[in-house]
Structure 1
């Protein structure tokens, strides 16, 4: 396996390698994937694997991209012993080989398929479509319903395949209470914690239009693109994989409109196409984390530009709550943030990153 990062000098290569080593040494994101946690330790110990993981486009999260590429190749049907360690390949109801023993197979796999992995890592983007995050959108829209005068124009930044934009066609069960479409093939289930009441998630604003924006929109009608979405689901998450498949099947019949391009470039022009004075909602989840640091200010400014021609509600799930509104936090989660047209920021709830639980608290 090649041990150099193309186009990078020796000193920069060493620095980049150490940055990657740190990411793979403490892969906190893989909370529900024992396999990826075990394999991350193998990557951290192998310079060749670190350099392979570093061949992605700037701004892409290396751990997600590297394992997504490995997973996609295995899902395509390549015959290799590494497949036996992946529950997604072995299949539900069958035992995969022990995750702690998978390291040598990963090294051999990457040596054999270095060219194919490099092609995926260098060209693909991390475009996980966590359908469960539609719950965060619905939760935020419930609050907005009491504030917006008239139908809203909904825009999702980093929409991938636009599955969250079909939130109104899904069923939801939160803390044992049901909302949405009970007959939908897509049923999202989440736990409810905290002393705050759970709002009536069937109270939503009317929606005038929906639109997604993405650097590289995923066409759910393309089998190869669909496999990439499936590859970004962690191997052990069978339920999430089935949920993704159901959402794709539902969306194929009526995919939402998605604009291709960088949000920094697209959103200012888009603001001028929306009817002046009409409410608009922008939503993004686990998108800002992929924006390079030097472009974060421009990303935020582009979203704010949507409020230049009408009242803007800015809803996001990105980072831990700061400050945390819970007096004694016991669960690590992200803030469901809402910035209202007056510029005030409100934490509506603390949520698990994939929206598997929601913790509410009494309003201040």
Structure 2
């Protein structure tokens, strides 16, 4: 078990390279620290251990005046060198052991990265242009539903291509490394139905819920925290049907509730890797069954590989429409494919 934890923290350190010096350093140290590994081992099965540990510490730090805050760019413009952060981190973890255990039991790693709309938006605009009818967006693992507001945000691609959809403050920036984006991006899709299913939907109107999402964001990522707050203001004013429970089990009933005048688009990002393989296969089977009555789109990644997929299902057959190389985990860049 300890060897497995060590490997997971070393892998997380690689994910943090050039993105979070603090978490990169702490991860490499935790991979060698038995005491901290013993704490991390209490994270429930199925949850990403490093993410949960760091988010829980971050969350508690938001309400405590502790020396450890001096190493977090979240709390200071002049953080102390990360190389000196292990001891205060370890002391904080041990001092707050009971509170951390409570968070491990009651919280889930539900990072809701609104910037991922940057690569979903072109897909949805193209679907809307092709089908010529309003979209019904159904998101599996929706968390707080930020991506369900995809049509309500503005976009800036490659620092030169502006998409101004609304007077809302949020402008999502990202770099497209692939083929030119479709012209459809300049016509926002009409979205009539928004359904977000999750084992534990997050209500952003509750302060501590928003605080948890902020804690999941890495300390150096100020722009992500800013976008989260701005997206929350947008989503709180949208009509979204949040559904608590197993999205795959409820999928057929949810699709049946959607008007025939709408084009169903089932989507999910960075969620399927946490779903058991047999349930992932069940998802595909159910989508095929639904498509025998009405065609639908399935847009996703991390189902059976890390690529971004856009499938069109009709008459029980999956038609692969687009496969894009894996995008940056926080959607700072992606590679569009015609």
TM-score w.r.t. length of structure 1: 0.84
Q: 1:25 aligns with which of 2, 5, 10?
A: 10
Q: 2:322 aligns with which of 336, 347, 350?
A: 347
Offset of 1:299 from its aligned partner?
A: 4.0
Q: 1:60 aligns with which of 36, 47, 51?
A: 47
Offset of 1:64 from its aligned partner?
A: 1.1
Q: 1:107 aligns with which of 90, 107, 112?
A: 90
Offset of 1:179 from its aligned partner?
A: 1.0
Determine whether 1:193 maps to 2:177. yes
Number of the residue aligned with 1:164:
147
Alignment: residue pair count: 330
Structure 2 unaligned blocks of 5 or more: none
Note if contact 1:160-1:216 (Cα within 8 Å) is conserved in structure 2: yes
Q: 1:178 aligns with which of 141, 149, 162?
A: 162
CA distance in structure 1 between the partners assigned to 2:126 and 2:113 by the alignment:
22
Offset of 1:277 from its aligned partner?
A: 7.8
Note if contact 2:192-2:262 (Cα within 8 Å) is conserved in structure 1: no
Offset of 1:309 from its aligned partner?
A: 3.4
Q: 1:50 aligns with which of 37, 46, 67?
A: 37
Query: Aligned-pair RMSD on alpha carbons?
Result: 2.2
Secondary structure of the equivalent of 2:299? strand
CA distance in structure 2 between the partners assigned to 1:303 and 1:263 by the alignment:
12
Task: Tell me: CA distance 1:126–1:240, structure 2 relative to 1, closer, same or farther (3 Å).
Answer: same
Secondary structure of the equivalent of 2:74? helix
Q: 2:308 aligns with which of 336, 342, 347?
A: 336
CA distance in structure 2 between the partners assigned to 1:247 and 1:163 by the alignment:
6
TM-score w.r.t. length of structure 2: 0.90
1:59-94 deviation per Cα after TM superposition (whole angstroms, max 9, x unaligned): 21111111111111111x21222111111022xxx2
Offset of 1:240 from its aligned partner?
A: 0.9
Offset of 1:276 from its aligned partner?
A: 4.9
Number of the residue aligned with 2:333:
357
Q: 2:70 aligns with which of 84, 92, 99?
A: 84
Number of the residue aligned with 1:131:
114
Task: Tell me: CA distance 1:247–1:255, structure 2 relative to 1, closer, same or farther (3 Å).
Answer: farther
Determine whether 1:273 maps to 2:257. yes
Number of the residue aligned with 2:227:
243
Offset of 1:162 from its aligned partner?
A: 0.7
Task: Tell me: CA distance 1:160–1:54, structure 2 relative to 1, closer, same or farther (3 Å).
Answer: same
